[in-house]
Amino acid sequence: MPTQSSGSYELAIIPFAPVPISVRDDADQLDQAGQSILQLLDSAASVAEENSQRTLNMAQKLLHHLYAAEDRIAELEAEAATYQQRAERAEQWLHRVNAEIEDRFLR
């Protein structure tokens, strides 16, 4: 700003400078940010590993149940085939007995 003093103009200079940040403070902030990021990455990796392990365990458990179910299905199919054969034999005997009754008693 110009000021008048004894017939001449003088400029008043107001120095403007940003508050100096020391290089050390800046480096500390960067180090802290870097460490925080690494900690977050470590936490994320741990959670991902736990989730992966839990998923693998669940898949193995479900696979075991699947194999057990397949074995049980095979057993039940074999049992059903046996009962089907017995039912067919029983039906054949009923026809034979029916024919015998008709031949001996109804003629």
1 has a pLDDT exceeding 90: no
- Tell me the C-alpha distance between 2 and 12, whole Å: 6
* pLDDT tens digits for range 55-88: 999 999 999 999 999 999 999 999 999 999 999 9
Per-domain residue ranges of the chain: 22-99
Q: Which tokens go with 35?
A: 């460490």
pTM of the model: 0.53
96 has a pLDDT exceeding 90: yes
Residue 9 phi/psi, 5-degree rounding, is -95, 135
What's the chain's length in residues? 107
